[in-house]
Amino acid sequence: MMTGTARMQQSGFTLIELLLSVGIISIMVTLTLPVYNMFAQRNELDIAGQQLVSALRRAQTYARGMQDDSAWSVEIGSTTVTLFKGTSFGSRDATADETFSVPGTVTVSGLSEVQFSKFTGAPNTTGTITLTSNANDSRTVTVNAKGRIDY
């Protein structure tokens, strides 16, 4: 039998417990967000570098194999990397283009175009292409006179 002084047990969270939980979660998110952003920018930089190297190597392979009986080149812009057939970006056959986007967090400097000659695959120019992220990480792609592409 229940008397008037007996209390009913209630389950749940108090307001203070909820506020503490939300506060702890907010602090954790605030501390981990910069680390996540740095990781995301580094990942975008690595992907951009791999796509650039892939385009250069593919152009060289196409030129050596004399695909479509043509030289192949790569145009490196600030927002895109374009693999194209021919030696001039302006007079290229755009139907053979392969284009990759460069993320907005990555800045490209260095060579702007590399052409690979038909049959030998030798580049017309040598030098480096530097990709730099907003977090000041950088990756360098080097093309030497023999056509070796280092990343």
Q: What is the pLDDT of residues 36-82, one digit of tens each?
A: 999 999 999 999 999 999 999 999 999 999 999 999 999 999 999 99
Residue found under tokens 């977090």: 135
Residue 5 lies in a domain: no
Residue 7 lies in a domain: no
Domain that holds residue 64: 15-150
In the DSSP assignment, the letter for residue 55 is H
Residue 2 lies in a domain: no
Q: What is the pLDDT of residues 139-151, one digit of tens each?
A: 999 999 999 999 9
